[in-house]
């Protein structure tokens, strides 16, 4: 049977005023998954007056251009509300996707989750 | 390498639908894994194929599920050739703006072709621009 990840899952916690979101999906490729994930993320950004969001990519092994686009949209929303979006724990293969598209210059990206948390201090 | 018209052994015609596209993607990726491609090559092929299928559905077929996407492919131990054809009027890839230009870096869309080019060894469109051919060599 083809491997499919029908449901988009996020683990959300809060630490020192920072919302830490871990993607539970290994693949953030197709529009169905992306829509589900970013609907939740946009909701999170809307609930905070000044959203401080750390995205943990530890489990993510695949990412498409549509996911990059959704990240850009989220980042713009967070910026408009004077918040901050930090991306952490990105697998080297995925980081290469950010480099190719030069989005490593657009997003604030840190190595580990701990470094990501420190970025907000 | 030019876009030749040699027929490929495997052919799948699916409705223009993202679930059907995902199933086809998994089927092809299973064949790629069985043919002995590295994890890096599998990553590259998955990414390029996903972009090609999304482009065919969204831009070629305008999201119309009554239209079809035709995927033909050949997976052998030395190279993978995949063609994805939609029922749209086609486009000219050279007219797609560079997504890394400073004024386009924050635009949410338009990176699919660039990623496909980066991850396969050869990428060609047919003259009409409604079929893309991806070639990935096995560089073991």
CATH number at residue B71: 3.30.565.10
Instruction: Please name the residue of chain B whose CA is at the shortest distance from the CA of residue A107.
Output: B106
Which of B71, B73, B38 has the alpha carbon at shortest distance from B56?
B71
Q: Is residue B1 part of a domain?
A: no
Q: Is residue B72 part of a domain?
A: yes
Asked if residues A97 and A68 have their Cβ atoms less than 8 Å apart, the reply is yes
The pLDDT score that the predictor gives to residue A1 is 39
Q: Is residue B120 part of a domain?
A: yes
Chain B hits for A64, CB-CB cut-off 8 Å, are 47, 50-51, 54, 112, 115
Interface test with A, best of B69, B106, B107, B123 (most A CBs within 10 A): B106
- CB distance B107–A29 less than 8 Å? no
pLDDT tens across A56-104, in order? 999 999 999 999 999 999 999 999 999 999 999 999 999 999 999 999 9
pLDDT tens across B3-30, in order? 667 899 999 999 999 889 999 999 999 9
Interface test with B, best of A6, A25, A29, A63 (most B CBs within 10 A): A29
Per-residue exposure over A21-41, b if at least 16 CB sit within 10 Å of its own CB, e if not: bbbebebbbbbbbbebbbeeb
Show the domain range for B38.
Answer: 10-137
Question: Can you state the percent helix, strand and coil of chain B, rounding each to 5?
Answer: 40, 25, 40
Tell me which of 3.40.50.300, 3.40.50.720, 3.30.750.24, 3.40.50.740 is the CATH number of domain A10-119: 3.30.750.24
Q: How much is the ipTM here?
A: 0.88
Q: Where are the domains of chain A?
A: 10-119
The pLDDT score that the predictor gives to residue B2 is 61
Count the neighbouring beta carbons within 10 Å of the beta carbon of residue B29: 21
Q: Is residue B33 part of a domain?
A: yes
Which of B59, B58, B56 has the alpha carbon at shortest distance from B72?
B56
- CB distance A102–B43 less than 8 Å? no
Asked if residues A59 and A98 have their Cβ atoms less than 8 Å apart, the reply is no
- How many angstroms separate the CA atoms of A113 and B87, rounded? 45
- CB distance B51–A64 less than 8 Å? yes
DSSP string, A76-92: HHHHHTT-EEEEE---H
Phi, psi for B64 (deg, rounded to 5): -85, 110
Q: Is residue B4 part of a domain?
A: no
Mean pLDDT calculated for residue range B58-81:
97
8-state DSSP, A60: -
Q: How many domains does chain B have?
A: 1
């Amino acid at each position: 049977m083809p491997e499919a990840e029908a449901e988009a899952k996020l683990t959300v916690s809060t630490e020192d005023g920072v919302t830490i979101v871990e993607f539970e999906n290994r693949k953030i490729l197709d529009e169905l998954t992306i829509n589900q994930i970013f609907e939740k993320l946009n909701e999170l950004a809307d609930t905070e007056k000044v959203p401080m969001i750390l995205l943990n990519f530890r489990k993510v092994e695949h990412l498409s251009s549509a996911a990059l686009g959704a990240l850009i949209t989220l980042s713009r929303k967070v910026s408009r509300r004077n918040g901050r979006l930090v991306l952490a724990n990105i697998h080297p293969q995925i980081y290469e996707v950010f480099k190719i598209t030069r989005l490593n210059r657009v997003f604030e990206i840190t190595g580990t989750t701990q470094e990501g948390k420190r970025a907000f201090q | 390498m030019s876009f030749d018209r040699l027929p490929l052994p495997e052919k799948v015609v699916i409705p223009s639908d993202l679930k059907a596209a995902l199933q086809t993607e998994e089927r092809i990726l299973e064949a790629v894994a069985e043919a002995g491609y590295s994890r890096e090559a599998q990553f590259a092929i998955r990414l390029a194929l996903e972009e090609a299928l999304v482009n065919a559905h969204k831009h070629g077929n305008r999201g119309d599920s009554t239209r079809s996407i035709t995927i033909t492919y050949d997976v052998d131990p030395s190279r993978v050739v995949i063609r994805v054809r939609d029922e749209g009027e086609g486009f000219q890839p050279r007219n797609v703006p560079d997504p890394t230009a400073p004024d386009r870096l924050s635009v949410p869309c338009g990176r699919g072709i660039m990623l496909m080019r980066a991850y396969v060894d050869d990428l060609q469109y047919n003259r009409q621009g409604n079929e893309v051919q991806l070639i990935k060599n096995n560089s073991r």
